[in-house]
């Protein structure tokens, strides 16, 4: 905690977006010169229906502190029903994540159309700020550390050494 000044926490946000709506919306935000946090890394998919829950898991495992999944509004899907399928899959996936103990505050779903540059900005800003408030996503990192060191950082000395890296 006392190292906070030294290393201000900048959340890593991974956004999985569909190419037809949200990606275009994010692009519009850019070309309209709207400002939004640089914390977000955007990954483009053909459709929200292609976004497998395992991608979200992988993002958390690779160090994401927050994940945004966004695509076309219902009725606007380029493939007609991809987002409807995604909606059910993610409704179920959220329940599963919640049951294994992932705080759902770190995971946001949204519909952002190609015309909604402003909504994209709002979405990314909100999630970034919320995750900033929640602090780093430790759960998956701790698992990874256990893999390497056969044990978590359970002494103050180790924690201090780790923080100062």
Partner 1 sequence: MTNTIDTSIYAAITEAIQGEARRILSEGHVSAVVGYAAARRKGSAQPVVITDAVRAEELIFSAACVNNLAVYLTKAKKEIPKTGKIGIVVKGCDLKALVGLMGESQLKREELYLIGVPCAGVLASTAQPAQELTGDTIAPKCRECDAHLPQECDFVPDRQPATPELAGKYRAEIARLEAMTPAERWAYWKEQFKKCIKCYACRQVCPFCFCEQCLCDRNKPQMVETTPRPAGNTAWHIVRAMHLAGRCAGCAECERVCPMDIPLNLLNRKMAKELKELYDYEAGFQVREKGPLAMYDEKDDQSFIK
**From residue 6 to residue 45, what is the string marking binding to partner 1 with x (rule CB under 8 A)?**
----------------------------------------
Report the Cα 140 to chain-centroid distance in Å.
Answer: 14
How far apart are CB 161 and partner 1 at their closest, in Å? 21
How far apart are CB 65 and partner 1 at their closest, in Å? 15
Report the Cα 158 to chain-centroid distance in Å.
Answer: 29
Sign of CA dihedral 73, 76, 81, 82: negative
CB of 6 or CB of 99, closer to partner 1: 99
The phi and psi torsions of 155 (rounded to 5 degrees) equal -120, 150
CB of 27 or CB of 119, closer to partner 1: 119
Which long-range contacts link 52-59 to residues 24+ away (Cβ below 8 Å)?
53/89, 53/90, 53/93, 55/16, 56/16, 56/93, 56/107, 59/14, 59/16
CB of 6 or CB of 24, closer to partner 1: 24
How far apart are CB 133 and partner 1 at their closest, in Å? 15
Distance CA 160, CA 66 (A): 25
**From residue 95 to residue 134, what is the string marking binding to partner 1 with x (rule CB under 8 A)?**
xxxxxxxxx----xxxx-----------x-----------
Give the DSSP H/E element, type plus range, for residue 64.
Answer: none
Distance CA 67, CA 60 (A): 8
Report the Cα 91 to chain-centroid distance in Å.
Answer: 16
Applying CB under 8 A, which of residues 41, 58, 63, 155 lies at the interface with partner 1? 58
**From residue 136 to residue 165, what is the string marking binding to partner 1 with x (rule CB under 8 A)?**
---xx--xx-xx------------------
What does the binding site for partner 1 look like in residue numbers (CB under 8 A)?
52-54, 57-58, 61, 74-75, 81, 84-85, 87-103, 108-111, 123, 139-140, 143-144, 146-147
């Amino acid at each position: 905690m006392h190292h906070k000044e030294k290393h201000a926490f900048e959340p890593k946000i991974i956004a999985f977006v569909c190419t037809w709506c949200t990606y275009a919306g994010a692009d519009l935000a850019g070309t309209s010169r709207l400002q939004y946090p640089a914390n977000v890394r955007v990954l483009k998919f053909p459709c929200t229906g292609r976004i497998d829950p395992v991608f979200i898991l992988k993002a958390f495992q690779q160090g994401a502190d927050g994940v945004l999944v966004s695509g076309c509004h219902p009725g606007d899907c380029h493939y007609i029903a991809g987002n409807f399928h995604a909606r059910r899959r993610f409704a179920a996936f959220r329940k599963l994540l919640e049951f294994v103990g992932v705080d759902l505050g770190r995971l946001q779903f949204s519909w952002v159309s190609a015309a909604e540059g402003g909504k994209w900005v709002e979405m990314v800003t909100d999630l970034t700020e919320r995750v900033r408030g929640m602090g780093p996503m430790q759960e998956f990192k701790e698992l990874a550390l256990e893999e390497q060191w056969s044990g978590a950082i359970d002494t103050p000395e180790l924690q201090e050494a780790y923080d100062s890296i």
